[in-house]
Amino acid sequence: MVTPKFTGLFISVLQLILNPGIAFEEVEGGRELLDFLDQCLPRQLPAVIVLDYQMPDLNGPEVLQQLSADDRYRQIMIVTWSTSSRTKDMEECKRLGAKDYLIKPDCIDGLNKSVRQLAVLFEMATRRILPQKCRTDTFPL
């Protein structure tokens, strides 16, 4: 899974819920993400990218546009992560290829919801069955 720079708590919770063995790669911006992907062999490409809407150098929609233009990346599930709840931003990202659009949480309940949503999306992307606790309404934090 490739993510923008998240808080350590968010990454820790995702690894705990999904699988401690899942590799997370964090990048600083859109250009660094594209460079990282360009260096990956096909079998090394991530199953999921959590893409920050506002990144340095290239923003989320600009990165989505470049990723959707390259057949190598069509199988990667991309989820946009943003503070914006504007319908226009959500629709733009989905039109450009994002599978989902998550609003950054501002409280522990929001973090819980975001982790649950990402767990379901990750399960879809990897076509594997998550532990039963991942299908409940809350996760132990």
- The lowest-confidence range among 51-55, 90-94, 120-124, 137-141 is 137-141
User: In this model, does residue 19 exceed pLDDT 90?
Assistant: no
- What pLDDT score was predicted for residue 47? 86
- What pLDDT score was predicted for residue 139? 37
User: In this model, does residue 103 exceed pLDDT 90?
Assistant: no
- What pLDDT score was predicted for residue 116? 78
Q: Please state the domain extents for the chain.
A: 2-135
Q: What angle do CA 70, 71, 77 make, to 5 degrees?
A: 90
Mean pLDDT of 23-41: 88
What's the predicted TM-score (pTM) here? 0.75
Note the CATH architecture for domain 2-135: 3-Layer(aba) Sandwich (3.40)
Cβ(121)–Cβ(77) under 8 Å? yes
Query: Who has greater pLDDT, 131 or 11?
Result: 11
Provide the phi-psi class of 127: left if phi over 0, else alpha when psi is between -120 and 50, else beta: left
